[in-house]
Amino acid sequence: MEGSSAEAALSVSANSIRITDLTQDGDVLTFAITSQKLNGSAGVCVFRTYEDFEWLQQSLFSQENVPGLQGIIFPPLPPKALPTQLNMQTKAFKQLGFLALGQGWQSYCKALEFYLQQVATHPTLCKCKALESFLINTESPGKQRGRKGIFNRLSQAVEEMRKESHKDVDNFFQNERNRNTSIAALSKVATEKLLDVVMTEQKLALACGHFSTSLHLCVNQDDADAVAFSKVCLKLSDIIEAVKRNYEKVASNNLTTLGLGLDLESRYQEAEKEMLFRRTCKLVELETVKKSTEKAKANKREVMEAFQKAVEKEFNLISSVAKQEIEHFHSSRVNVLKNFLIDWCEQQLNTAKECAELYSQHLEACRNMYSE
């Protein structure tokens, strides 16, 4: 997550990757991705659809010649957005959560942008050729997707049930798995709850809007008393309008900071879980190989032992990569969450201050009106 020595492999600066624009054509969202060349100030702009992102992710999964690839925590790609579906409201919320909120898919773009940055800053993944071409080639990076890769989610789900509880040989991984399981569940719940809060805030803002609008209808200019009352109504309408804007701001603050942060956190936890699962699969494989080697007849034993060695080596490699990845993930994850929290807190604080200021102005005005 932190750009380091590995950046050399990538010709663009990871931190300059931005999704600057989005066009929607029917069901297809096209994202404009800009980045800055490392050598020189030249900018690159490419247009990518969600399918291209999927291709990139697949390419990352299926890299060759990368030792311990399965021990890597791949940055999670947000689920596909389907803007024109009729039941989008309910379905999208289920799938996308926070990413479906926000005007013009802003948060979705933010999430994709974050994904690209994470990939680009990853010490191993940034060396992938697919990333380079994804970011720089003006043409869409080949239509050769469709390969379902090594991770078939359906079979994975079935296997997961079986292997989830498989006792680990390494205490570190056993603990990590336990921790990951609980955190993943909890962060998912927290994200959903925050989503509820934000939705309610939006509803509240809407209700305030209705209230403030209907207060305008109470205006009557017939006589002095009616005018006085109308003034009161208009004042109240202004105040409610202020309340409404406050809630909108608070909601969008929640959305763009803590909401995205929690969403990312929960998706990353899922990614870590997948990685750990892959390692567990390898572990199971190793164990079966060991058993069969023991049972094997003498003539085959040699072959089996060689095979066992190979598997063991691979497993150890994965474990060591995974260990690094986990440590790296932990530190960067805390950092990211911290930044989101600070951001969030500052924004909320600002909003609250602005709002308090506005309210006290209104209060002053009201008191003056009262003393008239």
Partner 1 sequence: MAASSERSPPPFPDSEEPELLEDSDEGADAFTGTSISEMDSLSPDTTGPPKDIFNEPPEDIFSDPLSEINSEPQKNVKIPSPGSDEAVDLFSDPLDDEADVISSPEVQNPVPDLLKEPVEAPKSDVISEPPSDLSSKPVHKNAIDSPKGAKTAVSAELFDDDDEEEDLFNEPLKGVTKKPQPSAVSGPPVNVFTEVKSEVKVKPQVKDDPTDLFAEEAVTAPATKPSVSSSSRTNGVHSEEQDIFSEATVELSLDSPRNDRKKKDAVKPSVSAPAVSVASSSSKPPSKTLEELEEEESEDKFDLNISVTNPEKVGDGMNAYMAYKVSTQTSLTMFRSKTFTVRRRFSDFLGLYEKLSEKHSQNGYIIPPPPEKSILGMTKVKVGKEDPSSAEFVERRRAALERYLQRVVSHPSLLQDPDVREFLEKEELPRAVGTQALSGAGFLKMLNKATDAVSKMTIKMNEQDVWFDEKIQDVENEEQQLRKLHVMVESLVNHRKELSGNTAVFAKSVAMLGSSEDNTALSRALSQLAEVEDRIEQLHQDQAANDFFTFSELLADYIRLLGAVRGCFDQRMKAWQRWQDAENMLQKKREAEAKLLWANKPDKLQQAKDEITEWEAKVTQFERDFERISATVQKDVIRFDKEKARDFKRQIIKYLESLLHSQQQLIKYWEAFLPEAKAIA
Indicate the residue among 28 and 349 with the shorter CB distance to partner 1.
349
Residue 368 in the binding site for partner 1 (CB under 8 A): no
Residue 327 Cβ, how far from partner 1 at the closest point, in Å?
A: 12
User: How far is it, in rounded angstroms, from Cα 189 to Cα 194?
Assistant: 9
Indicate the residue among 161 and 217 with the shorter CB distance to partner 1.
217
Please report the sign of the dihedral spanned by the C-alpha atoms of residue 57, residue 59, residue 62, residue 67: negative
User: How far is it, in rounded angstroms, from Cα 256 to Cα 106?
Assistant: 9
Q: Which residue from 66, 88, 190, 317 is in contact with partner 1, where contact means CB under 8 A?
A: 190
Residue 236 Cβ, how far from partner 1 at the closest point, in Å?
A: 5
User: How far is it, in rounded angstroms, from Cα 344 to Cα 350?
Assistant: 10
Residue 239 in the binding site for partner 1 (CB under 8 A): yes
Q: Which of residues 17-46 bind partner 1 (CB under 8 A)?
A: none
Indicate the residue among 12 and 242 with the shorter CB distance to partner 1.
242
Indicate the residue among 65 and 370 with the shorter CB distance to partner 1.
370
Strand partners, 277: none
Indicate the residue among 91 and 193 with the shorter CB distance to partner 1.
193
Residue 276 Cβ, how far from partner 1 at the closest point, in Å?
A: 15
Q: Which residue from 23, 84, 85, 200 is in contact with partner 1, where contact means CB under 8 A?
A: 200
Q: Give me the sheet containing 18-25, strands edge to edge.
A: 18-25, 28-36, 43-49
Residue 360 in the binding site for partner 1 (CB under 8 A): yes
Indicate the residue among 37 and 362 with the shorter CB distance to partner 1.
362
> Residues in contact with partner 1, total (CB under 8 A)?
59
Residue 172 in the binding site for partner 1 (CB under 8 A): no
Residue 307 in the binding site for partner 1 (CB under 8 A): no
To the nearest 10°, the Cα dihedral for 80, 81, 86, 91?
70
Unique residue bearing structure tokens 């956190």? 265
Show contacts of 61-68: CB within 8 Å, 24+ apart. Answer: 61/149, 61/150, 61/151, 62/147, 62/149, 62/150, 63/128, 63/130, 66/124, 67/317, 67/321, 68/314, 68/317, 68/318, 68/320, 68/321, 68/322
Token readout for 309 is 């060695």
Q: What is the pairing mode between strands 43-49 and 18-25?
A: unpaired
* Nearest Cα to Cα of residue 318 among 359, 349, 269, 284: 284
Indicate the residue among 218 and 304 with the shorter CB distance to partner 1.
218
Helix H or strand E segment including 109: helix 106-121
Q: Which of residues 243-282 bind partner 1 (CB under 8 A)?
A: 243
Q: Which residue from 32, 82, 304, 366 is in contact with partner 1, where contact means CB under 8 A?
A: 366
- DSSP state, residue 103: G
Residue 234 in the binding site for partner 1 (CB under 8 A): no
Residue 352 in the binding site for partner 1 (CB under 8 A): yes
Query: 310-338 burial, b if ≥16 CB within 10 A, otherwise e?
Result: ebeebbebbbebbbebbebbeeebeebbe
Residue 207 in the binding site for partner 1 (CB under 8 A): yes
Q: Which residue from 94, 129, 193, 295 is in contact with partner 1, where contact means CB under 8 A?
A: 193
Q: Which residue from 9, 32, 136, 218 is in contact with partner 1, where contact means CB under 8 A?
A: 218
Please name the amino acid found at residue 81.
A
Indicate the residue among 288 and 331 with the shorter CB distance to partner 1.
331
Residue 112 in the binding site for partner 1 (CB under 8 A): no
Q: Which residues bind partner 1 (CB under 8 A)?
A: 179, 182-183, 186-187, 189-190, 193-194, 196-197, 200-201, 203-204, 207-208, 210-211, 214-215, 217-218, 220, 222, 225-226, 228-229, 231-233, 235-236, 239, 243, 330, 334, 337-338, 341-342, 344-346, 348-349, 352-353, 355-356, 359-360, 362-363, 366-367, 369-370
